[in-house]
Structure 1
Amino acid sequence: MKLNILGCYSATPRTITNPTSQVLEINNQMYLIDCGEGTQVQLRKHKIKFSRINQIFISHLHGDHFFGLIGLISTFSLLNRPNDLHIYGPKGIKEIILLQIKLSKSYTKYNLFFHELESTESELIFEDDKVEVHTIPLKHRVYANGFLFKEKPGLRRINIDAAQEQNIEVCYFNKLKQGSDLQREDGTIIKNETVTFDPQPIQSYAFCSDTVYNEEIIPLIKEVDVLYHESTFLERDIEKCIPTGHSTAMQAAEIAKKAHVKNLILGHYSTRYPEIELFKKEAETVFQPVLLADDGKVFKF
């Protein structure tokens, strides 16, 4: 599992920082999460292939999380993209994007599908043979969702040495990978676990930005491998959290601790602070390990 941070700062883009956007690569598939201004420039800068992005997940309709979307959609068309593109986001995103396409006469040459969200309960919104994506309802100034990405269990792995010792032909390997025992012609049974290894451990990633401190998400993100949680403010500015709909670094750490996650990544920093190390220092008083997102940073798990 690999996470490419394209942007992780709040509010407005600057020459040295970018608003929220990231690419999650899990089980050899890429997913774009949020699409602030400058996303397509960041994708080029970090050499991420446009053609590998077929699903885009938008958390909410504040500009620093989706103002880069229409530009990316247009560029995909100019590049003669052949693949379908699926966009998952709050109700209203289809109207916003199609109006821009209509008035600029920039109709796409590929199929564009919108999956609008309005449920306040967690729901399965995407699934294929490798990955599931569920919403994580958040509490912000507008309707917002986080996203939980979970790998599906893979197939068992053949223990080649053991299979050869048992003289098992290759044609039976698929059956073994699916967990079945084998029966010989004389009726004896070869137990699956004697000639296979367990599947690779599954991984999970939870994206939670933007939100106030909200313990209701804890059951949804319990024991995930990686939690990205917004940390717009430090504790000294905690009074700003409720009116703006944001959290502090320490509050993000509290969520991580109570959910027993394995790793916490902080992001969505307010640029009022001189250095992001301050966020890590505060969060580590509650939970460890704490990692800091930053533009261009790549995490591998």
Structure 2
Amino acid sequence: MIFSVTILGSNSAIPTLQRNPSAQLLNVNERIFLVDCAEGTQLQLRKYRIHFQRIRHIMISHLHGDHYFGLLGLLTTFHLLGRKDEIHLYAPPELEEIVRIQLEASLTRLIYPVTFHPLVADGIQPIFDDERVTVHSFPLLHSVPTFGFVFREKIKIRKIPATRSYAYCSDTAYTEGIIPYIQQVDLLYHEATFMQDMAEVAAEKLHSTTVEAATCALKSRVKKLLIGHFSARYEDLQPLLDEARKIFPETYLAEDGEIFNL
């Protein structure tokens, strides 16, 4: 059974020719989730030959543009391709009005249903549950209301010794408050916008450094760590990886196009 994470975008606010801003695609036992949807996400879906009509659930972590400016374009493309299947959108509550205004301004009436599920910043909250996977949201520490997500496989396959889990922590300052929500997951994605020599800038902007991401992984006793949301100032990501691995050796770069199988 599949449990995979495809990196569609790994940069922070400014895209580069090598790295798009934030977006990831999860396949959990054929349940397909899009997590964040920066500008250019639908091009990334095509570039990596992903059948994006299979997407049923879209999670938006927060309302900074580098995490949702690609959403309206994707919803419109679904419309133009004649989609009929429902989309479930999990996001801060303000996004529903934003999408409504944009669709009305363009005189677009989607031919498929979109169901909004407003996220609540009150500890860990269940947002999706079926016979194969559960998904919970939890608050992060950023300049606007921001949410992380944890995906846990629900069924236990005979040949797999344990169910698998993945946690996504997008824009956030270092906070140990999230540890109870993500502890012992198989794979943790934690933003690492800056290297440690820019810790003051990271704190001011409510972002994390490589060292802070690795420390969170260590204290949460996760198996593996993905770092991403890299500042465009870094062309070479190897120094970020090296710095994080000094604290948490099982650290990997969330680079565009990479697929991580749990």
**TM-score if structure 1 supplies the norm length?**
0.84
Match of 1:140 among 135, 139, 142: 142
Specify the alignment match of 2:22 in structure 1: 20
The answer to whether 1:221 aligns with 2:182 is: yes
Aligned residue type for 2:25: V
Specify the alignment match of 2:207 in structure 1: 246
Query: Counterpart of 2:14 in 1: which secondary structure?
Result: coil
CA RMSD of aligned residues (A): 1.2
Aligned residue type for 2:208: S
Can you give the 5+ residue segments of structure 1 that lack an aligned partner in the other structure? 158-197
Q: Distance in 2 between matches of 1:152 and 1:118?
A: 23
Query: Cα deviation per residue 1:8-42 (whole Å; 9 max; x = unaligned)?
Result: 10012233320000101111221100000000011
Query: Cα deviation per residue 1:120-179 (whole Å; 9 max; x = unaligned)?
Result: 321001111111100121000000001000011336x4xxxxxxxxxxxxxxxxxxxxxx
Aligned residue type for 1:205: Y
Aligned residue type for 1:49: H
Q: Distance in 1 between matches of 2:184 and 2:156?
A: 19
Query: Cα deviation per residue 1:69-115 (whole Å; 9 max; x = unaligned)?
Result: 00000000001011000000001000001110011011110011111
The answer to whether 1:257 aligns with 2:218 is: yes
Aligned residue type for 1:266: I
Q: Distance in 2 between matches of 1:11 and 1:75?
A: 23
Aligned residue type for 1:109: I
For residue 277 of structure 1, report the CA deviation from its aligned partner: 0.8
Decide which moves more: 6-15 or 137-146: 6-15
Query: Cα deviation per residue 1:176-220 (whole Å; 9 max; x = unaligned)?
Result: xxxxxxxxxxxxxxxxxxxxxx76521000000100000011111
Query: Counterpart of 2:75 in 1: which secondary structure?
Result: helix
Query: Counterpart of 1:100 in 2: which secondary structure?
Result: helix
For residue 241 of structure 1, report the CA deviation from its aligned partner: 1.4
Match of 2:152 among 150, 153, 170: 150
Decide which moves more: 221-230 or 119-128: 119-128
Specify the alignment match of 1:35 in structure 2: 37
The answer to whether 1:206 aligns with 2:167 is: yes
Specify the alignment match of 1:49 in structure 2: 51
Query: Counterpart of 2:188 in 1: which secondary structure?
Result: strand
Aligned residue type for 2:256: D
Query: Cα deviation per residue 1:218-252 (whole Å; 9 max; x = unaligned)?
Result: 11111000000000000100001122110001100
Q: Distance in 1 between matches of 2:235 and 2:259?
A: 22
Aligned residue type for 1:260: R
Q: Distance in 2 between matches of 1:154 and 1:79?
A: 36
Specify the alignment match of 1:80 in structure 2: 82
Q: Distance in 2 between matches of 1:137 and 1:246?
A: 14
Specify the alignment match of 1:232 in structure 2: 193
Specify the alignment match of 2:251 in structure 1: 290
Q: Distance in 2 between matches of 1:131 and 1:22?
A: 17
Query: Counterpart of 2:36 in 1: which secondary structure?
Result: strand
Contact 1:136–1:208 (Cα < 8 Å) also in 2: no
Query: Counterpart of 2:26 in 1: which secondary structure?
Result: strand
Count of equivalent residues:
260
Can you give the 5+ residue segments of structure 2 that lack an aligned partner in the other structure? none
For residue 58 of structure 1, report the CA deviation from its aligned partner: 0.3
The answer to whether 1:68 aligns with 2:70 is: yes
Specify the alignment match of 2:111 in structure 1: 109
Specify the alignment match of 2:124 in structure 1: 122
The answer to whether 1:275 aligns with 2:221 is: no
Q: Distance in 2 between matches of 1:199 and 1:50?
A: 28
Q: Distance in 1 between matches of 2:201 and 2:214?
A: 18
Decide which moves more: 280-289 or 13-22: 13-22
Q: Distance in 2 between matches of 1:107 and 1:200?
A: 47
Contact 2:133–2:155 (Cα < 8 Å) also in 1: no
